[in-house]
Structure 1
Amino acid sequence: MKKLENKCMLITYADCMGDNLKDLKCALDRHFREAIGGIHVLPFFPSSGDRGFAPMDYHVVDSAFGGWDEIEALSKEYYLMADYMINHISAHSAYYQDFLAKKDASNYHDLFIRYKDFWENGEPTDEQIDQIYKRKPRAPYVDAQFADGTTEKVWCTFDEEQIDINVNSKTARDFITDNLRTLCGHGIALVRLDAFAYATKKAGTSCFFIEPDVWDLMHFCEDVVKDYGVTLLPEIHEHYTMQQKIEQAGYYVYDFALPMLLINALYYGQSRYLKHWLTICPRKQFTTLDTHDGIGVVDVKDLLPDDEIARTKEDIFQKGANVKKVYNTKAYNNLDIYQVNCTYYSALGDDDDAYLLARAVQFFAPGIPQVYYVGMLAGKNDLKLLEETKVGRNINRHYYSLEEIDEEVKRPVVQKLLDLMKFRNTHPAFDGEFILEESNDEELVILRKNGDDFARLHANFKTKEFSITHS
């Protein structure tokens, strides 16, 4: 298998560039081999919900996508990242179903967080509920309906198909070990620990990124994968200081702040907030502009003033192409206040110049760039899929056929983007220093330098023009 390299990583579902993993490889071989070095294949396991993020079993690939042979074939040509949902497992998994059938006699009776065991009196107080960093306007639980007719509350942070794991139990530690080793044994170079900060819970706290428990869990996972040479990437959307803290401990992190900061710079022709972040952001990171979710808002708290966050978010609905507030409401099964659902290309008004400038900045920023498949094809908002499904996030989850990809890659904006990605993958300057040079508030100048090799980006956010000079 290929190990992690400092080359652009594609983020894609198994069935969104063609119908399955074989089609995906066909599309990559035909058009993108030089533009990408790695692939994050979003959850490809059998799942009961949330577009793969309610996994039922990590030992098999969903048969609709292919099998481990297809995953391993990709791993020979690209470094691969797979998701491990460390916080939860599907309500329809054999593990949870066994628990419902046998209750205390189940081998998995302590794999889940039972309210009767977690809270002092079996229930949280109103004060304890208020303290929890939660995704629902009430205590996070579902009612487990046991075969014997009894009912019991178990912890559920997200959707009712995603039952939280009691990561401190021995059963859970064995469960995590088995699942991580399964992934490592099939050519995976990186494991993304999805919803990582939610996995550590303690009564009377926020139950989010609880220290020192979170470090114990991270070290445990690290010990499991270290003999395989696998890299871990904890996925957390929160205040930027949390990412800094994780990097200081020696781990890779995500830069989820860059997308909103770049939109702010491009909307208003100003670079001061972006420059500040590039000065202080982690260096051991993966950069994003777009992902399978929306454009993060919570991630720029204190990096943009509150009024700048408010006007930037508001103006996405004004300056963006075909994006409306209603897509972030209950009418579209989406009440997530932490992000805006929109493709990045459409957030910039389907403007080729603005979009290419944003990608150029991303590729010159510290870290390894990730490019979402819709973004790699400069995709517009998919209103048809959105309306058919009434799922807000589907605005940015278009299904491309192989024939459609053949046509999309002919567009000048896509050709220019792929050229930028090839340049980022091959120029030695990007293995060296990151230097932010002096410039006025409308501009940004970045120098990447490695010995005698250099690449310099000069960007103007007012005119949306940029130039690259290099050795």
Structure 2
Amino acid sequence: MSDAYTWLCEKVQHHLDVIYQGVEIPQSSEEIAKSLINTMRLNEVSTKQMPIPHQNHWSEEDIVLITYGDSIESETQSPLVTLHQFLNKYVKDTINGVHILPFFPYSSDDGFAVIDYSSVNESLGNWLDIKSISSNYKLMSDLVINHCSSRSAWFDNFIKCEGTGSDFFFTVDDDYDISQVVRPRTSDLLRETKTAEGIKKVWCTFSHDQVDFDFQNPKVLAAFVLIIRQYLDHGVRIFRLDAVAFLWKKSGTTCINLEKTHEVIRLLRTLIEYAQNDCIIITETNIPNRENLTYFGNANEAHAVYNFSLPPLLVNTLVTGDCTYLKNWLMSMPPAQNGTTYFNFIASHDGIGLRPAEGLLNEDEINTLVNTMQSFGGMVSWRTLPGGKQKPYEINIALFDALKGTTKGADTLGMERFICAHEIMFALEGIPGLYVHSLLATGNDYERVTNTSQNRSINRRRWNMAELESQLADNTTQHSVALSRINHLLAIRINQKAFHPNATQFTLQLGKNLFGFWRQSIDRRQSIFCISNITDVEQTVVMSDINLIGTDCWWDLITGDEIILDHSDFILAPYQTVWISNTCTV
């Protein structure tokens, strides 16, 4: 037996011992470990080498486009085929990864109430379409691990009290203390469900159509390991663990971020790393910043965590013209050690989360941000606190409309403000995730909100491919301008070693109206000073504040212009960004 295989068996068993400590399970942890390892098709012959610790499976070339499988549709072919054609036509030279949001049969929440994890939604395409996309792009898929649809076969069996799934779901009795539970919804936590064995109270963190799994049952864990193996076989290389923070429950606690949840992630990382070493796990934990960072573990949990505090802080910066809070947050962020990184984004299929701004913006500042977004057509989703009080949970708005003005109102600088947001995000430490409706500068979709009665639909437009191509062919439309300018920025980014996700980052002190940071490549050969005017008036950058080395030549990578050091300062136009580098590689 190889040392690597022996270590794998011992490590998986240790994870299981921690997970099921104090829980009665039908098999020993050793037996469960062997079963999980077999499911991943790992054996003494194939397992010859242990994963190299602290290894980065990413570079400055990695950009992930976030999209639904049907964000772009055509009358003549399946949406996944249309998506693949769009990617190849418009972004193949600048974007190398794609996150296709849940592409499985579902009953609600635009895919996040999964009916069947093992098949592709027929309205989108099939597994061959998924495999085709994964052959050209790094494919990121959701593992909707906390809950599934109440219309799934598993939940049907739960109701019948027989067959696979009959014991998969978390239920409680009247003695279970739920008074401290933290969750992002206002609906009742428990759903009374009539089963063959009587009424059972089923736990529903998000909605009554999304029923939570019971991970105290090893069969649930085994089912998800089998799902992971299937996704690997179809080309998935990035796993997004959806809503994973809520996975483990314990009476009398918040039922969020519990230690056994972290241990489940460690177990999944171990199995995935041995099965496909270049795969990575990203945890989706829309929670306060300090809690979010715990999902790195000691470089043994998530390879990457969503940088959830970035969207509210960056939008707040650009609508107030004051970068104080963004700068303070950036200075507080620990550098991600090798083997881990941040996943940066400023727009998504959901909204601008406000929980990650807790402790970073005070209540008055959050209220001002909410009011400003509402004045630009945004909507607000709420959550219920212990005791019944409601609090804003997220702002639902398209990013292009979120940045159409400032706290003073809408103005004519919306596109410059919008591009500035991306110039900042693309330069930060971490892997950029770019939402398709930001790439295309899609505005608020009120018709879709009316049709679905869901606030989040405001930023989930479905484009007709012919209409979209017509818009993109006209270089005066906001969609064409945004695509062209974003592609220009990405073409620059992917050639800069100083933009490696783990390259050094240092926050610059340039006052409240200029936001800046310095990046240095891992080999220390390239430096880039990233400076943005985050206001609606001109700002002066004083050369002595950034201390460029006089023996080097310096260029603004965005314009290609050389920076003349004998000038004492230079002017940035409203929302202008410069990437000042000692090497000009474009």
TM-score (norm 1): 0.90
| Code of the aligned partner of 2:372 | D
Match of 1:453 in 2: 526
Cα offsets for 1:265-291 (capped at 9, x unmatched): 111211111111122225311011011
Say whether residues 1:373 and 2:428 are aligned partners: no
Q: How far apart are 1:151 and its partner, in Å?
A: 2.1
Other structure's SS at 2:347 match: coil
| Code of the aligned partner of 2:444 | N
Match of 1:231 in 2: 280
Per the alignment, do residues 5 and 52 of structure 1 end up closer, same or farther by CA in structure 2, a change over 3 Å counting? farther
Q: 1:140 aligns with which of 189, 199, 205?
A: 189
CA distance in 1, matches of 2:187, 2:511: 48
CA distance in 2, matches of 1:273, 1:428: 28
Q: 1:100 aligns with which of 155, 159, 178?
A: 159
Match of 1:444 in 2: 515
Cα offsets for 1:6-39 (capped at 9, x unmatched): 4221000001122511000100111111221211
Say whether residues 1:341 and 2:452 are aligned partners: no
CA distance in 2, matches of 1:355, 1:136: 30
Q: 1:382 aligns with which of 445, 454, 466?
A: 445
Structure 1 window deviating more from structure 2 (370-379 vs 402-411): it is: 402-411
Structure 1 window deviating more from structure 2 (309-318 vs 368-377): it is: 309-318
Say whether residues 1:399 and 2:462 are aligned partners: yes
Per the alignment, do residues 4 and 468 of structure 1 end up closer, same or farther by CA in structure 2, a change over 3 Å counting? closer
Per the alignment, do residues 61 and 137 of structure 1 end up closer, same or farther by CA in structure 2, a change over 3 Å counting? closer
Aligned pairs (5 A) from 1:196-211: 196-211=244-259
| Code of the aligned partner of 1:388 | N
| Code of the aligned partner of 1:185 | D
Match of 2:148 in 1: 89
Match of 1:43 in 2: 102
Say whether residues 1:10 and 2:65 are aligned partners: yes
Q: How far apart are 1:98 and its partner, in Å?
A: 1.5
CA distance in 1, matches of 2:529, 2:185: 46
Match of 2:126 in 1: 67
CA distance in 1, matches of 2:209, 2:318: 39
Cα offsets for 1:325-377 (capped at 9, x unmatched): 6x879xxxxx9831011011100117101001111110111111111110110
Match of 2:236 in 1: 188
Match of 1:279 in 2: 331
Per the alignment, do residues 133 and 124 of structure 1 end up closer, same or farther by CA in structure 2, a change over 3 Å counting? farther
Other structure's SS at 1:414 match: helix
Match of 2:571 in 1: none
| Code of the aligned partner of 1:438 | Q
Contact 2:504–2:520 (Cα < 8 Å) also in 1: yes
Aligned pairs (5 A) from 1:157-196: 157-196=205-244
Contact 2:66–2:99 (Cα < 8 Å) also in 1: yes
Contact 2:307–2:342 (Cα < 8 Å) also in 1: yes
CA distance in 1, matches of 2:103, 2:216: 26
Other structure's SS at 2:143 match: strand
Cα offsets for 1:192-243 (capped at 9, x unmatched): 11110111100111111112x1222112211331222221111111110012
Q: How far apart are 1:137 and its partner, in Å?
A: 4.8
Contact 2:186–2:382 (Cα < 8 Å) also in 1: no
Other structure's SS at 2:258 match: coil
Cα offsets for 1:362-405 (capped at 9, x unmatched): 01111111111101101111122222332211110011122233
Equivalent pairs, count: 449
Structure 1 window deviating more from structure 2 (339-348 vs 267-276): it is: 267-276
Match of 2:269 in 1: 222
CA distance in 2, matches of 1:62, 1:107: 22
Contact 1:58–1:183 (Cα < 8 Å) also in 2: no
CA distance in 1, matches of 2:235, 2:219: 26
Other structure's SS at 1:130 match: coil
Structure 1 window deviating more from structure 2 (352-361 vs 389-398): it is: 389-398
Aligned pairs (5 A) from 1:191-340: 191-211=239-259, 213-226=260-273, 227-229=275-277, 230-250=279-299, 251=302, 252-282=304-334, 283=336, 284-318=341-375, 320=376, 322-323=377-378, 337-340=392-395
Show structure 1 runs of 5+ residues with no match.
Answer: 116-121, 330-334
Match of 1:123 in 2: 174
| Code of the aligned partner of 1:210 | L
- Structure with greater contact order relative to length (CA < 8 Å, sep ≥ 6): 1
Match of 1:428 in 2: 497
| Code of the aligned partner of 2:578 | S
Contact 1:17–1:401 (Cα < 8 Å) also in 2: yes
| Code of the aligned partner of 2:120 | V
Per the alignment, do residues 136 and 16 of structure 1 end up closer, same or farther by CA in structure 2, a change over 3 Å counting? closer
Match of 1:119 in 2: none
Match of 1:118 in 2: none
| Code of the aligned partner of 1:182 | Q
Percentage identity across paired residues of the two chains = 27
Q: CA RMSD in A?
A: 2.1
Other structure's SS at 2:73 match: coil
Match of 1:22 in 2: 81
Q: How far apart are 1:4 and its partner, in Å?
A: 4.9
CA distance in 2, matches of 1:447, 1:75: 34
Contact 1:40–1:82 (Cα < 8 Å) also in 2: yes
Say whether residues 1:465 and 2:576 are aligned partners: yes
Per the alignment, do residues 313 and 27 of structure 1 end up closer, same or farther by CA in structure 2, a change over 3 Å counting? same
- Structure in which a larger fraction of residues adopt helix: 1
Per the alignment, do residues 241 and 51 of structure 1 end up closer, same or farther by CA in structure 2, a change over 3 Å counting? same
CA distance in 2, matches of 1:324, 1:43: 24
Match of 2:52 in 1: none
Structure showing greater Rg: 2
CA distance in 2, matches of 1:415, 1:157: 41
CA distance in 1, matches of 2:530, 2:125: 42
Match of 1:156 in 2: 204
CA distance in 1, matches of 2:431, 2:454: 30
